[in-house]
Amino acid sequence: MNNEVLVLKDIWKIYKTPTGDFPVLKGINLSIKESELAVIMGPSGSGKTTLLSIAGGLDKPTKGRVIIGGIDITDMDEEELTKIRARKIGFVFQSYNLIRNFTALENVMAPLLFTGIYSREEAKIIAEKTLKLVGLERHVNKYPNQLSGGQQQRVAIARAIAPGPDIILMDEPTGNLDVGTSVKILSLIKWLNEIFDQTFIIVTHNPEISELASTTYYIRGGRIYKEPPRTTLAETIKELKKKKETEEQKTVQIEILKARLEALKKAVKNGKIDLEIAKKEINALEEKIEKITAHISKAR
């Protein structure tokens, strides 16, 4: 029996920019099994949130395939994706994303009703029991602004697990919480994983969360690894220095420097700044302009 609940095959995400293609994800291959608690570690800008959005059908890859619960969702239209997300995928975000004018109960009922399977009464019963499961049975009729951050995140978790999804995707689930509340939320996640066999993928930059994981992956520069990349900061800086700036970027730099130089000279002329005070800065700007101009000429 195939127990893979998420399979990503050669996932690329490439954005078009004025200066050319910008790849955010570069051939990601990932397989998450049932009951797994997978943590994907990565710094800001590594592509982890984009990866999560594609895995959850919120965004489409430039190329590659996304398979959830054995169903290939890659080419589905938005109507089909909405039904799949409601039944098979739960989402928990750093900012909770609760509907403000819905009570806790109504927030948890919403995805159940979206599936088209449950009546309002059936959805209410399941939502009440799910909120009880996460310890919020006394807060079912409260609105998000009447709840603490930790309580709101528990409502978000209840909303995610209520329809019985194949997988729950979590983006920095404790990012907006204090240490004590974070521990409670993470304990709840671990408990749901172990007792109910709920499958989770958590993306985070917090290494402590990886202590909960059954599997930890690492993402950097749009690629995923099973072991932490060993690139040191010094090596990263060295690589960056190897990458030549484009002529367009250098030209823009010159334009900025010239604008500063012109403004500075104008300020001196109008008596706003003493020449002796500004002289050093004027010379420095002129030297930078000359240096960058020389670089452009050399590159041609």
Strand 4-17 with 20-33, pairing: antiparallel
- How buried is residue 173: exposed, middle or buried, by Cβ count under 10 Å (0-12/13-18/19+)? buried
Helix (H) or strand (E) holding 178: none
- C-alpha 261/C-alpha 258 separation (Å) is 5
The one-character DSSP state at 144 is: G
The one-letter amino acid code at 279 reads K
pLDDT number for residue 238: 57
Per-residue model confidence (pLDDT) at position 1: 42
pLDDT of residue 129: 93
What per-residue confidence (pLDDT) applies to 33? 94
DSSP 245-263: PPHHHHHHHHHHHHHHHHH
Which residue in 294, 261, 291 sits closest to 279, CA to CA? Answer: 261
Class level of CATH domain 4-237 = alpha beta
Which residue from 135, 172, 175 is spatially nearest to 154, judged by alpha carbons?
135
CA distances from 237 to 70, 231, 258 (A): 42, 10, 28
Dist. CA 49–CA 94, nearest whole Å:
11
Instruction: Give yes or no for a contact between 206 and 174, defined as CB atoms under 8 angstroms apart.
Output: yes
- Rounded to 5 degrees, φ, ψ at 125 are -60, -50
pLDDT of residue 72: 95
Smallest CA-to-CA distance from 90 within 175, 162, 40, 34 is with 162
**Cα(61)–Cα(14) distance, rounded to whole angstroms?**
8
CA pseudo-torsion sign 247, 251, 257, 260: negative
The DSSP line for 188-239 is HHHHHHHHH---EEEEES-GGGGGG-SEEEEEETTEEESS-----HHHHHHH
Task: Give dist(CA 11, CA 26) in Å, integer.
Answer: 7
Tokens of 242: 């190897």
What is the value of pTM for the model shown? 0.74
Chunked into runs of 10 residues, the chain (300 residues) has average pLDDT values of 86 90 94 95 88 95 94 93 88 91 96 89 94 94 96 95 92 89 91 90 89 92 83 55 56 81 86 81 86 74
Strand segments (E) across the chain: 4-17, 20-33, 37-41, 63-68, 71-72, 89-93, 167-171, 200-204, 215-220, 223-225
Decide if 51 contacts 40 (C-beta within 8 A).
yes
